[in-house]
Amino acid sequence: MKIKDYYIKTKNVIEENRKSIYVYSLIFTLAFSIFNRILGIVKESVWHETISIYYFILAIIRGILIRYIYKSNTKEKEILIYRFIKILLVILNTLLIFPIVLLIMNKRVVEMTLISSIVVALYVTIKTSVTITQFVKKRKEENILFRELRSINMMDVIVSILTLTNTLIAVNSTEFDIGMYYLTIAVSIVGYTVNIFLLTRLRER
């Protein structure tokens, strides 16, 4: 099968099962939050505790959107939900400052197992592949709640990449490395900037 044919087939499968994928994505996000919570307890890592809270709130936001996306809403109610979610996203991105500051201050766990990195890498890979496919497929989506959910999925990918970066640094570095430190700062700043850009691009029309 050619790559193009495989890509088209994948897009069709995602489109036909979009609601189920959104629900599975919600469950996956919640599971990732629990995973980081466990790491926070085991490794006594404040960084993983803050990321756990971030993903838990993200799961709640996703749940609210999924609940109303497939209901018959008036235009006024749709806009109200959209604005409410946007406020929650502003709060969520404000909370994201805390784990980023912890990374920049090097207040993170410095030793992690290969299994942890594999779990994070798996989360990033699955999220990225599904999100990008949906983003390209539905870039002209007219429903504002769908557009909002699509942007949230992209934000999820950005933060998960930040989490993966921290995990890989922790796995491959047992002591302070100035090169890794600058890499952490660069990834954190770029990731947060992209998230804010996605948030500011959210429009009701």
Give the model confidence (pLDDT) of 24-40 as tens digits.
Answer: 888 888 998 998 899 88
| Residue 37 near residue 48, CB atoms below 8 Å | yes
Instruction: Tell me if the pTM is above 0.85.
Output: no
**Closest alpha carbon to 82 in 160, 29, 144:** 144
Whole-number average pLDDT of the chain:
78
Does position 133 have pLDDT exceeding 90, yes or no? no
DSSP tag of 107: -
Distance CA 20, CA 10 (A): 15
Listed in sequence order, the DSSP H helices in the chain are 3-16, 18-42, 46-69, 75-95, 97-104, 114-137, 144-172, 178-200
Q: Taking residues 61-76, what's their average pLDDT?
A: 84
Percentage of the chain beyond pLDDT 70 is: 73
> Which pLDDT does position 34 carry in this prediction?
93
Count Cα atoms within 13 angstroms, Cβ side, for 148. Answer: 28
DSSP tag of 43: T
Percentage of the chain beyond pLDDT 90 is: 15
Does position 14 have pLDDT exceeding 70, yes or no? no
Does position 96 have pLDDT exceeding 80, yes or no? yes
